Amino acid sequence: MTQKHVFISGRVQGVYYRDYTRREAEKLGIKGWVRNLPDGRVEAVFEGPEDTVENMVAWCYQGSPRSEVIKVEVAKSNPQLKENFIDFKITR
């Protein structure tokens, strides 16, 4: 199991990016959350098997059909700070 903290920049708010992220995460069995940030970026935490989390991060470069992703920043989360997620949520 691994966890990645991701920040997505570009035209990613108001284009259903979070909803498409939730759908893809549920399809892959990823747990965690996604939210909009005040600065226009989207932030997400993905938790699951390493190869599946990598697939989810790769999907972030594509995003929703109306999004225009410019940049995806990825940080491996600190294992001591890992949460025990039970599903994937859109949060505030």
Give 26-55 pLDDT, tens digit per residue.
999 999 999 999 999 999 999 999 999 999
**pLDDT score, position 84:** 72
CATH topology of domain 2-78: Alpha-Beta Plaits (3.30.70)
Q: What percent of the chain has pLDDT over 70?
A: 91
Which is catalytic among the residues 18, 35, 55, 66? 18
Mean pLDDT across the stretch 12-20? 97
Residues 6+ apart with CB under 8 A from 77: 3, 4, 5, 45
Q: Mean pLDDT in the chain?
A: 92
pTM, rounded to two decimals: 0.91
Active site annotation includes 41: no
Which is catalytic among the residues 11, 35, 36, 55? 36
Q: How far does Cα 8 stand from its chain's mean position?
A: 8
* First-residue to last-residue Cα distance in the chain: 25
Structural domain boundaries of the chain? 2-78
